[in-house]
Amino acid sequence: MSIQHHSVEVNGLRLHVAEQGEGPLVLLLHGFPESWYSWRHQFAALADAGYRVVAPDQRGYARSDRAPSSEEYTLPHLVGDVTALIGALGAEEAVVVGHDWGAVVAWTTALLRPDLVRAVAGLSVPPLPPAGLPSVESSRRAYGEGYYQAYFQEPGRADAEMSADPASTLRRILVGASGASPPRPWVAPEGVRLIDTLPEPEELPAWLTAEDIEVFAGDYAAPDAFTGPLDWYRNIDRNQDLMAAFRGLRVEVPALYAVGDRDMVSVLRGVPELRAALTMIAPKLHADLTLPGCGHWTQQERPHEVNRALLDFLATL
């Protein structure tokens, strides 16, 4: 069976989902600036192994609806979408796998709803419960005003810069944060546009084709297509307040973590300490994997290794 596409009504929003296979539900949650298509290499491998694989375009992304307000992209909203999606798909539980921002949502869903999440896997971003990411002010202190999470806070600025040429934006980000480039925090010097700190690549790496860029660029063709995804970042500080009641909780379901050794996330302040504490945060950790030569786009750059790790993990459940 090929990948099927349809829409699901979730919390008043229509989410586009891609689906393949039958069996226990595995939800795949993409990151920024991506879509369901970032999981293109995982569908067949998991479906052929007997799983029902579903990858939504998350709230505000690609073919899914945008929320009416920029304040409706908090972690409670995003976790609420995942929990509602599980029910809307007719399932009682799911394994939730996430990459980048999708990993934040996956870890948080497992933290808050272990009754619905059989197991969780995070790619690139480790668990930092309960708010998922450090406050914007702490990031500013560490990296300056030009750090991408701080840069994204101004409404409209990054939106316009990225949407001016979506294909160029996506080439720059996907190649610039890949294993082809040295890992470093994404920071713009004063007076320089953030997107201009990543050069237009002369050629694409082997894992990324011109056709892939065309698909992603199509998902961001609308003039405001980057605004919903950027609004996730504009709720980082709001998440600190909303998630305060859950401080001290651990991820109590079976867990897997994988990251490339050339992923920019791996060199951010505090991440090595987080990895050292993984078994305290997720006591049922199955494995903590490092993928040599892999950058930020874990499942796209290393599909075979990621698929093997996921299937090994799923087989233990």
List active site positions.
100, 296
DSSP annotation of 261 reads: T
Helix (H) or strand (E) holding 98: strand 94-99
Asked if residue 204 lies in contact with residue 213, where contact means CB atoms within 8 angstroms, the answer is yes
218 exposure class (CB count in 10 Å sphere: 0-12, 13-18, 19+) = middle
177 exposure class (CB count in 10 Å sphere: 0-12, 13-18, 19+) = buried
Side-chain-side CA neighbours of residue 88 (13 Å): 21
101 exposure class (CB count in 10 Å sphere: 0-12, 13-18, 19+) = buried
